[in-house]
């Protein structure tokens, strides 16, 4: 395989000393060797800066920058600003990738512009470490809605920035918003709009570590209210650029709100109760903008709480989560 094109691998780092070395090693072990690893330290207070410095001294492909941005989105933006590659890959600081991940994602989009490829992930370490079989790639070069539906296939990191290899031009005009959470889903529509082709690689490449200390797994706080900013961005994009997509976007926002509501019920704090109430009110509004019987779910708070608990059971199973995606969108 030709390795003439440089890939920039951007890793936002914040207090990641427990897992950073393992993550970096999984990146440096890639069979596709023509890459730069850009570690963006977001003002970590643990030993992450020391680990980053050690890796820089050990491997010339490692670069770094320290920022005081305060969010993974701003850290990714800083990485994009200094990236030199023809392609962009994001990796979280506590995750792992297989040694042939770059090679497998690069092959179907090599020498191409305005595209990205993506492969599968798991939260189970044992499954990640097993030899996985290959299936045929799936491609979509049609309308935005067709691409949006494709990336929601079961087992793929649908809206996450990681899990995908992007041609560099995708991010010529796109940057992540400064949200503590939901900054990734906020930009998926502009990314799909820019991408002329999307390729799904049927290969399990990513181990997504469920870390109790991460923002997405921590207790409900003011940061979680960013879901409303994310919804506003997605709806505004659809209204301005793809009006025929608006009904589908409302469904996506309902799904995201339902997921957050599920976590609110688990948290059982005062602020989670406040957030749940606001999500319930917004979902009542959104459900009136789509056809079907889904509005019945939001007809009363008691029904919605019961439904949210059911959503929690669904999201605990990869299979059920994949089926729910197809049914609810």
* DSSP annotation of 114: S
Express each pLDDT in 183-205 by its tens digit. Answer: 989 999 999 999 999 999 999 99
- CA 263, 264, 268: angle at the middle one, nearest 5? 120
What are the angstrom distances between the C-alpha of 231 and each of 47, 173, 182, 237, 263?
A: 36, 20, 9, 10, 18
The pLDDT, as a whole number, for residue 40 is: 98
The pLDDT, as a whole number, for residue 313 is: 80
pLDDT category at 317 given cuts 50, 70, 90 is: low
- Kindly calculate the radius of gyration of the chain based on its CA atoms and give it in whole angstroms: 20
pLDDT category at 215 given cuts 50, 70, 90 is: very low
pLDDT category at 316 given cuts 50, 70, 90 is: low
Which of 51-67 are b and which e, b meaning 16 or more Cβ less than 10 Å from the residue's Cβ?
A: bbeebeeeeebbbbeeb
Kindly compute the dihedral angle of the four CA atoms of residues 59, 65, 70, 73, in this order, to the nearest 10 degrees.
-70
Q: Is 138 helix (H, G, I), strand (E, B) or coil?
A: strand
Domains for the chain: give ranges and CATH numbers. Answer: 7-207 (3.90.550.10), 222-328 (no CATH)
What is the Cα 155 distance to its own chain's centre? 13
Spatial contact of 75 and 12, defined as CB atoms under 8 Å apart: yes
Residue 167 β-bridge partners = 87
């Amino acid at each position: 395989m030709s390795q003439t094109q440089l890939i920039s691998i951007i890793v936002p780092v914040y207090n990641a000393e427990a897992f950073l070395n393992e993550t970096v090693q999984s990146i440096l072990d890639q069979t596709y060797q023509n890459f730069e690893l850009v570690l963006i330290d977001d003002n970590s207070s643990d030993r992450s800066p020391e680990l980053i410095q050690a890796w820089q001294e050990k491997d010339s492909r490692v670069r770094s920058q320290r920022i005081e941005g305060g969010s993974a989105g701003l850290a990714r933006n800083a990485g994009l600003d200094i990236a030199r590659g023809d392609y962009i890959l994001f990796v979280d600081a506590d995750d792992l990738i297989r040694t042939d991940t770059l090679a497998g994602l690069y092959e179907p989009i090599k020498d191409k512009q305005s595209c990205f490829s993506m492969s599968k992930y798991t939260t189970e370490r044992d499954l990640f470490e097993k030899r996985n079989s290959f299936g045929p790639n799936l491609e979509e070069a049609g309308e935005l809605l067709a691409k949006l539906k494709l990336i929601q296939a079961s087992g793929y990191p649908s809206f996450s920035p990681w899990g995908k290899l992007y041609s560099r031009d995708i991010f010529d005009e796109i940057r992540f918003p400064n949200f503590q959470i939901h900054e990734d889903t906020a930009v998926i529509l502009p990314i799909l709009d820019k991408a002329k082709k999307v390729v799904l690689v049927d290969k399990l490449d990513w181990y997504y570590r469920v870390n109790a200390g991460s923002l997405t797994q921590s207790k409900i706080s003011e940061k979680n209210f960013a879901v409303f900013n994310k919804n506003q961005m997605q709806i505004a994009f659809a209204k301005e650029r793809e009006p025929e997509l608006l009904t589908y976007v409302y469904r996506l926002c309902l799904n995201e709100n339902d997921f957050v509501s599920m976590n609110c019920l688990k948290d059982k704090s005062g602020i989670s109760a406040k957030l749940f109430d606001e999500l319930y009110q917004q979902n009542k509004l959104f459900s009136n903008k789509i056809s079907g019987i889904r509005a019945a779910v939001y007809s009363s708070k008691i029904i919605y709480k019961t439904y949210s608990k059911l959503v929690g059971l669904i999201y605990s199973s990869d299979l059920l989560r994949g089926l729910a995606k197809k049914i609810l969108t």
